[in-house]
Structure 1
């Protein structure tokens, strides 16, 4: 049967594939749209298999919250080249995946991939389809979901880094303070909310390093433990969010900034996702 330009354009609108790819798929499928979509998907699977070992160091990171600010999601869709990552169509693809995530609030990247993207494809199948369209390996990485009294999202310019912060107060003033702290998380990359959130292995390593440094500096062995504990306290101050100096006023810690903004305001959790 004759394949019209309108047919090709219709398939292109449905899949995002190139004009020639759509035309060839329709010709091969003898005008059957469902079969043509399957042909394009199989092309994506072939491209995916071929590029399976390729590195995906570029991409687009996005954080977004639900309309009631109760839940936030952050994830990255990685690709191979900066050229693809900066394409408007790629941004649109990420935003469409985020809509599925926000609507369904999956607990993990694996759960997101299993969700229905539309009436015909799962999210995983949609990504496979787009691998065929784009010609690069694509993968969802760094997925995180956060719930709280109010969740704030921050997307760093360039979309290579995004954060979520959950605060215990949903007022406008509290949410704005949360946005400032979300920027702090982006800039300072804390390892935990406070010292209680630092894992025992990290603490043991910092103490051992502190002892060794003290001994190398000529301090008596019986003082090394005390010196190491002092260095550990400094480590907590520099690397846990609530104890860090607030980047917009280093006379305050983040904890003090929050409490001075709204009495009792604090952060219950945070997420940070980046390409590097």
Structure 2
């Protein structure tokens, strides 16, 4: 059966699938539009099933923040190659998924995939369809939502969208400008906590054990080892605790000093690096 260019265009506009695939689907279904859509979705599922065991460690980290700044979402979506990560359809899907997460705050990945993407298509269905169009394994790996009644959520995505950060800031200072500086700090120096009190006890003990073993192996006198251990733990805090890190834009001050001057504080942060 022959199909018109208009029919092919309508199917392409509805599904985003290539012109030749749309034409073949219409020919196979004798021009039935709904059947052609269903056929293309089935083919997308077949591609997804075929690629299920393949590693997908490229992709994007994207964020979305509400207009009032009181909520933010961060999502990691994976594909097989960096080439696909630069695909406009893939990027558009990632951005829309982040917006849906922000709007609906799902409890888990299953709930996220059940959210509406657009019209009567769910995020999972669109992901399968996109898999069929692109021909690579695509997965939503993880997401997080930060909400704050009193503070502001600031986002930063590093160029290339492989690394993203959400930060919750409070205070009367310039939250957008200073919060972005903090988010960039988190992206660059990868702190493990806002304050030293938030560092898990097991992490502190592990650092103490490593420092003690090193001191013993170096033949340090027993009476100075405790001081050496605590000194190294202090340096660990300076390197890995946000408030105690040197500020990346001015290493003569700590992040805490910078925030105090800006009349702001940080409550928490979330950092996603692709594949972590």
In which range does the TM-score fall when normalised by the shorter chain? over 0.9
* Structure 2 residue corresponding to 1:154, chosen from 150, 153, 156: 156
Residue 78 of structure 1 and its aligned partner are, at CA, apart by 1.0
Distance 1:24 1:15 in 2: 14
Corresponding position of 1:168: 170
With the length of structure 1 as denominator, give the TM-score of the two structures. Answer: 0.93
For structure 2, the 5+ residue unaligned runs are none
Report if aligned partners of 1:62, 1:159 keep a CA contact under 8 Å in 2.
yes
- How do residues 30-179 of structure 1 correspond to structure 2 at under 5 angstroms? 30-148=30-148, 149-169=151-171, 173-179=174-180
Report if aligned partners of 2:102, 2:145 keep a CA contact under 8 Å in 1.
no
Residue 83 of structure 1 and its aligned partner are, at CA, apart by 1.1
Distance 1:170 1:109 in 2: 36
Which of structure 1's runs of 4+ aligned residues deviate more than 3 A?
A: 107-110
- How do residues 125-274 of structure 1 correspond to structure 2 at under 5 angstroms? 125-148=125-148, 149-169=151-171, 173-262=174-263, 265-274=264-273
CA change 1:107–1:249 in 2 (3 A) is farther
Give the length in aligned residue pairs.
273
User: 73-82 or 27-36, which moves further after superposition?
Assistant: 27-36
For structure 1, the 5+ residue unaligned runs are none
Secondary structure of 1:162's aligned partner:
strand
Secondary structure of 1:117's aligned partner:
strand
Distance 2:128 2:169 in 1: 37
CA change 1:245–1:86 in 2 (3 A) is same
CA change 1:29–1:100 in 2 (3 A) is farther
Distance 2:172 2:93 in 1: 31
With the length of structure 2 as denominator, give the TM-score of the two structures. Answer: 0.93
Distance 2:74 2:39 in 1: 32
CA change 1:184–1:210 in 2 (3 A) is same
User: 81-90 or 21-30, which moves further after superposition?
Assistant: 21-30
Report if aligned partners of 1:167, 1:178 keep a CA contact under 8 Å in 2.
yes
CA change 1:96–1:33 in 2 (3 A) is farther
CA change 1:252–1:108 in 2 (3 A) is farther
Report if aligned partners of 1:72, 1:151 keep a CA contact under 8 Å in 2.
yes
Residue 120 of structure 1 and its aligned partner are, at CA, apart by 2.3
Distance 1:170 1:133 in 2: 48
Report if aligned partners of 1:108, 1:144 keep a CA contact under 8 Å in 2.
no
Residue 62 of structure 1 and its aligned partner are, at CA, apart by 1.0
Cα deviations across residues 49-87 of structure 1 (Å, max 9, x unaligned)? 111121112112111211000011111211111111112
Cα deviations across residues 234-260 of structure 1 (Å, max 9, x unaligned)? 111110111111101112111111110
Residue 159 of structure 1 and its aligned partner are, at CA, apart by 1.1
Distance 1:110 1:241 in 2: 33
Residue 170 of structure 1 and its aligned partner are, at CA, apart by 6.6
Residue 218 of structure 1 and its aligned partner are, at CA, apart by 0.9
Distance 1:46 1:225 in 2: 62
Report if aligned partners of 1:113, 1:124 keep a CA contact under 8 Å in 2.
yes
Residue 271 of structure 1 and its aligned partner are, at CA, apart by 0.8
